[in-house]
Amino acid sequence: MNPPPLAGFRVLDLTWNLPGPYTSFQLAALGAEVTKIEPPKGDPARHVPGLYEPLNRGKHVITLDLRDDGDRRCLEDLIRETDVVLEGFRPGVAERLGCGPEQVAALNPRAVYCSITAFGRSGERAPLPAHDLNVQALSGACHLARDASGRPHGMPLPLADLSASMAAVSSICAALLARERDGRGRALDVGMLDAILSWTVLWSRGVDFAGEVRRRTPRSGRGLVRRMVERLDRQRLHALPHYDLFRCRDGRWLALGIVDEDHFWGILCRELGLRGVGRWKMQTRLLAGPLLRPLIAARLLAADRASWLERLGRAGVPVTPVLTPEEALKDGPVRSRMVEPDGTHVRAPLPDARPPGWS
């Protein structure tokens, strides 16, 4: 029996939730030896065993507090012996913890470093917090899934997370192959928005050879998505009251992307003027969802979308506008990422998983 293709390769996984763990899950399925580093409180996904257990089967799990000098030295020893370092911190955090791309390259020049973030490591949105629903909204995916009344919906699968994982896996494998030729490691920058845009634009409109978005959406595909989403909406796709799409006074929609982050919930309550509930933990919020969601919706209906995006964004809440695919392609931060290494703009968005100078 032949060994799997990545047998003998070691992966150090510093991620949690979904995009990173699904990436290392696929690498493990291809034969890589994966060591997952978790903080003392554990991966937040441990609270969802049905997600955590299948994603992390076959991985070695080590608990390290990267704010502790001794644990950071342990991490450095692991970096020296690995082939791939996978991280999903917001830009700047990995550097503060001693595991940024330049720090890893200094410890192990042959290591392939892969960063998976919502908006990539560069650009105007790079430091902003976001989850899958926020990125779906920006990409045009929620607009594509609108129902018969025109209400947008989140796709029934975490497409931003999964598309980024697929881009990361292919890029890591390509970087390992390139390393066999030149002996050099690589620093890969995978943005969830970059990845899902390469799907939504092709799915929604098609792109011709001039890079112009066609005006007509294929009716068969659009109808299929609508029927699927309408059925799932009846089942309440998003149980969390603060992880959903909301209509604003001007008729435009925004996406709130708060999952289990109690601090984001407290900030949201302060900004919306919701009294007495800002300290509620996630389980309480989940149980009180039928009460909380109408309260949130009513508050957001009191002002235009631009006002809420500015106010909530300034406060640090994960919030994004719901855009059409056409609007997504005209978005300034998106266009700043649609650039080839030589500085020319690409004609259609594709995952930017190449480091500067890739050849």
- Buried-exposed string 152-182: b where 16+ CB fall within 10 A, e elsewhere: bbbbeebbbbbbbbbbbbebbbbbbebbeee
Asked if residue 217 belongs to a domain, the reply is yes
Give tens-digit pLDDT for 244-263.
Answer: 999 999 999 999 999 889 99
Beta-bridge mates of residue 191: 117
Region of 154 on the Ramachandran plot (φ > 0 left; ψ -120 to 50 alpha; else beta): beta
Sequence-ordered list of residues with C-beta below 8 angstroms from that of 342, at least 6 positions apart, any chain: none
- Rounded CA-CA distance 353/194 in Å is 9
Q: CB neighbours (10 Å) of residue 69?
A: 10
Q: What is the pTM of this model?
A: 0.83
Domain limits at 269?
132-156+197-330
Predicted confidence (pLDDT) per residue in 172-187, tens digit: 999 999 999 999 999 9
Domain membership of residue 149 (yes or no) is: yes
Active site residues: 161
Count of CB atoms within 10 A of residue 121's CB?
A: 22
Residue 239: pLDDT band with limits 50, 70, 90: confident
Structure-block tokens of residue 231: 């059925």
pLDDT value of position 331 = 76
Query: What whole-number distance in Å separates Cα of residue 156 and Cα of residue 234?
Result: 12
Count how many domains the chain has. 1
State how far the Cα of 205 lies from the Cα of 286, in Å rounded to an integer: 37
Does 50 map to a domain?
no
Alpha-carbon distances of 101 from 12, 113, 292, rounded to whole Å: 13, 6, 41
Residues 289-332 pLDDT 10s: 889 999 999 999 999 999 999 999 999 999 999 998 888 877 77
Residues whose CB is less than 8 angstroms from the CB of residue 213 and which lie 6 or more positions away in sequence, other chains included:
201, 205, 206, 207, 325, 326, 329
143 within some domain:
yes
Whole-number average pLDDT of the chain: 85
Query: CA neighbours within 13 Å on the CB side: how many for 198?
Result: 18
Tell me the per-residue pLDDT of 99-114, one tens digit each, with 9 for 90 and over. 999 999 999 999 999 9
Say which residues have a Cβ less than 8 Å from residue 31's Cβ, sequence separation at least 6.
3, 4, 5, 6, 7, 8, 9
pLDDT at residue 287, as a whole number: 87
The Cα 181–Cα 177 span in angstroms is 7
Rounded-to-integer distance, Cα 24 and Cα 83, Å: 13
CATH number at 210 reads 3.30.1540.10
Note whether residue 242 is domain-resident. yes
Express each pLDDT in 125-154 by its tens digit. 999 999 999 999 999 989 888 888 888 988
* CA dihedral (175, 176, 178, 182) positive or negative: positive
Residue 236 confidence class, pLDDT cut points 50, 70, 90: very low
pLDDT reported for residue 106:
96
Look at residue 306 in the predicted model and tell me its pLDDT: 97
Q: How far is CA 137 from CA 97, 105, 206, 301, 327, in A?
A: 31, 35, 19, 18, 11
* Residue at 342 is within a domain: no
Q: Which of 13-17, 77-81, 145-149, 281-285 has the lowest mean pLDDT?
A: 145-149
Domain membership of residue 256 (yes or no) is yes
- Asked if residue 44 is part of any domain, the answer here is no
